[in-house]
Structure 1
Amino acid sequence: MTRTVTLVLVDPAGRLLGALPPYEVPTPWWQEVDAVVCGAPVEVAVLRLLSGVSDRPGIGGAVSYLAEVAAPPAVPLRPVDLELPPHPLRAPYAEPGGPAATVGWATAALDRLGRPAKEVAQRRTWNLSAIWRLDGPHGPVWLKQVPGFFRHEAAVLRRLGAVTPGLVPPLLAADDDGRMLLDHVPGEDRYGADPAERDAIAADQHALQVRALPLTDELVAAGVPDLRGAALARWIRAALAPHHAEAVLDGLEERLAQARRCGVPDTLVHGDLHPGNVRSDGDRRVIIDWGDSFVGHPAFDILVLTIGLPPDASDALVAAWCARWRADVPGCEPERAVELLRPVAALRAAAVYAAFLAGIEPSERVYHDADVPHWLAQAATLLGRG
């Protein structure tokens, strides 16, 4: 599957210049822009999505982006009648001048570290992150900038890097605007990992969560969301208030109270622990993308890790997870906690996407519009209220 891409160009001051002719790119995912940049007839920095039309939003179809050029290009441009008003929820990296400012921060930081960058390539931009790869004589480095609701990721990586070295990407630098420099992690993202590999990921995460137990208050003080017990219920209700979810929220607080009485301790939760958020070179695994992390019940991670598995494999993965917690916390009841939290995990997922929708500008909401009703329907089924 491919995309048909149209780039609407602006200069660094944000003045509209016109549009390039549409062209095909070989990768379908709208947020991936490396092929978009490479396929353009002029040097561009992609700022943000303008529109997309596809049978599967976010994948394939016809997509238009706003892109910045340093000067009017020497290629014909099509006139465009388009308003480009400011928006209070727009990410800094989606504004003209934003990518240059972020790359400038990164190259200066790498110079101070003695790791100068010789080549810079934009790889991704959307409402959840912008990512560049910077290459130099000391190897590749990844530059990532995230919106405000993910800015605790750097604090998580900094603290985990001290207590679980090798399990998370090395953080080289970070600032208060959501920018991070991450050392390269060799290997590939483990989408499609089989049950055995998922169990190894679960074991890695368990070890990390046990080591993070003494850090919970420190992590919360550093800005990591505190979603322990009743705080999770309050957050879910607030996030889902615009989505008329009252029918599936009845009894939420009592369900969380019962799960708490099962005795599995609250710790750092990754929040989106699917295999694609793990990189491996065959020798070691590194857990990446901690923007969804929070302090809360560790069962939420194992429930994400089972998604897509057949029932027998899912049950075996959960059983192994339960055995680890029983061994480390004698007397706890992890099996009961998991069953109590299954529908809450679906509600939490719906609330996550609802929070995204509330925190991003309208043109970007196409990525997440279908996710809230999907997860609310999942929760209703698990609660027997579908």
Structure 2
Amino acid sequence: MSRTVTLVLVDADGRPLGALPPYEVPEPWWQEVGSVVDGARRRYGVDVAVLRLLTGDRPAPPGGHVTYLGQVTEPPAVPLTPAPVDLTPHPLRAPYAEPGGPARSVAWATRELRRLGRPVTAVAQQRTWNLSAIWRLDGPAGTAWLKQVPAFFRHEAAVLRWLATAAPTTAPTLLAADGTGRMLLDHVPGEDRYGADEAERAAVAAEHHAVQLRAAGEAAALVAAGVPDRRGPALARWIRDRLAPHDPTVAADLLAGLDDRLDQVRDCGLPDTLVHGDLHPGNVRGDGLRRTVIDWGDAFVGHPAFDILRLTETLDPPVAGRLRDAWAARWRADVPGSAPERAVELLRPVAELRLAAVYAMFLAGIEPGEHPYHRGDVPAYLSRAAAAI
């Protein structure tokens, strides 16, 4: 599967110029724009910064014909097609989706790397959507990554700072952060481990357990540093608040009994700790020597069972069961008298409900033009939560 791309261009002042002819790019995923930028340069001699999604001919990704807004510093030589485009400002638009936004972010990153003795010789835009914008920055001292995130993910920098001290090498090295969502991350060698087998997932779970055990004694400090508090009653309130604008009827029974269910989870005796929030193998990079867990923007302080449920959710039941049994054995050994298996069973539907609330949070925090990325996720996870009871 691929994409057909149309780029509607604006100039450095944000004035519309017209659209490039459509062209094909190999990756179907709408947020991946590296090949979009490369295609515009290779086919039309145009250097463009992709700003944001305008339209797609499908209700959701992947694939299809996708139109983006892009910015150029000079009008291109290739003839452009007139293309009406709504450039009305929106209060929820990401800074990197505005004309001039990518240039400002890259300028900040190059200054920070120069300060660190790492001059930049090449910059390549990799991704842009409502959850992040990512650029690769190369130079004689190696590769760094500029990642810019919206307000609801800004605590990622605080998580990375804590991990750098408490669990070195388990997460990307944070080189700089400006407090507005911009982060500079050192390169992590290897590849994303989407195809990880049972043995590798078992290793990820064991390594992550050590991190969570270390964080269990610092939950309050992590919350004070800005990591979201999703402990017990705080989680119930947050879920209800996020889902209030939606129709949670299908999961009404689960929501009605949520406080009682979370009280039972507390009685299982496991400590609250740092939770990654999206611990699937694609958020693990490995090079054969070590594994690094990436993308901590979904992190929160809460129950450790949420991560093992995410790590095992797509596996065949026997495989998932063995991984969860090993997880439970570790917690029973470290917290005598606890009931980790009971906690997992109680939290299984809550994990789906929490993800429905996460997607509701995304929709509430992004402009409507970006909603196709997540529009179907809230009802889908509400249905999954109801089915998991």
Both structures adopt the same fold (TM-score exceeding 0.5) = yes
CA distance in 2, matches of 1:99, 1:205: 34
Confirm or deny that 1:68 pairs with 2:71.
yes
Confirm or deny that 1:264 pairs with 2:267.
no
> Is contact 1:160-1:212 (8 Å) kept?
no
Amino acid of the structure 1 residue aligned with 2:195:
G
1:292-331 superposed matches below 5 A: 292-331=298-337
Amino acid of the structure 1 residue aligned with 2:176:
A
Structure 1 counterpart of 2:5: 5
Amino acid of the structure 2 residue aligned with 1:187:
G
| 3-state SS in 2 of match to 1:291 | coil
Structure 2 counterpart of 1:43: 47
Moved more, 102-111 or 372-381: 372-381
Tell me the alpha carbon deviations over residues 298-349 of structure 1, each in whole angstroms, 9 at most, x when there is no partner.
Answer: 0000000011100000111100000010111111110100000000000001
CA distance in 2, matches of 1:342, 1:191: 22
| 3-state SS in 2 of match to 1:243 | coil
TM-score normalised according to structure 1 size: 0.98
Structure 1 counterpart of 2:129: 126
CA distance in 2, matches of 1:327, 1:215: 20
| 3-state SS in 2 of match to 1:120 | strand
CA distance in 1, matches of 2:107, 2:50: 16
| 3-state SS in 2 of match to 1:132 | strand
Tell me the alpha carbon deviations over residues 29-61 of structure 1, each in whole angstroms, 9 at most, x when there is no partner.
Answer: 100000000000200000000011237x22110
> Is contact 1:127-1:360 (8 Å) kept?
yes
**Structural RMSD (CA):** 0.9
Q: Note the residue ranges of structure 2 that are not aligned, 5 or more in a row.
A: none
Q: Note the residue ranges of structure 1 that are not aligned, 5 or more in a row.
A: none
TM-score normalised according to structure 2 size: 0.97
CA distance in 1, matches of 2:32, 2:108: 22
CA distance in 2, matches of 1:83, 1:304: 39
Structure 1 counterpart of 2:259: 253
Structure 2 counterpart of 1:286: 292
Structure 1 counterpart of 2:243: 240
Runs of 4+ in 1 over 2 A off after TM superposition: none
Confirm or deny that 1:83 pairs with 2:89.
no
Amino acid of the structure 2 residue aligned with 1:347:
L
Amino acid of the structure 2 residue aligned with 1:173:
A
Confirm or deny that 1:115 pairs with 2:126.
no
CA distance in 2, matches of 1:267, 1:362: 34
> Is contact 1:11-1:71 (8 Å) kept?
yes
CA distance in 2, matches of 1:279, 1:111: 27
> Is contact 1:130-1:145 (8 Å) kept?
yes
Confirm or deny that 1:135 pairs with 2:138.
yes
Structure 1 counterpart of 2:355: 349
How many residue pairs get matched?
Answer: 382
Identity of aligned residues (%): 70
Structure 2 counterpart of 1:163: 166
Confirm or deny that 1:358 pairs with 2:361.
no
Tell me the alpha carbon deviations over residues 227-250 of structure 1, each in whole angstroms, 9 at most, x when there is no partner.
Answer: 100100000000111112151411
Confirm or deny that 1:218 pairs with 2:218.
no
Amino acid of the structure 2 residue aligned with 1:264:
L
CA distance in 2, matches of 1:280, 1:180: 22
Amino acid of the structure 1 residue aligned with 2:52:
R
Q: Give 1:185 shift.
A: 0.5
- Equivalent in 174, 177, 181 of residue 174 of structure 1: 177
Confirm or deny that 1:275 pairs with 2:281.
yes
Structure 1 counterpart of 2:233: 230
Q: Give 1:193 shift.
A: 0.9
Q: Give 1:82 shift.
A: 2.0
| 3-state SS in 2 of match to 1:121 | strand
CA distance in 1, matches of 2:48, 2:233: 47
> Is contact 1:31-1:58 (8 Å) kept?
no
Structure 1 counterpart of 2:204: 201
CA distance in 1, matches of 2:123, 2:183: 15
Amino acid of the structure 2 residue aligned with 1:107:
T
Q: Give 1:215 shift.
A: 2.2
CA distance in 2, matches of 1:25, 1:139: 28
CA distance in 2, matches of 1:79, 1:309: 49
Amino acid of the structure 2 residue aligned with 1:293:
A
| 3-state SS in 2 of match to 1:86 | coil
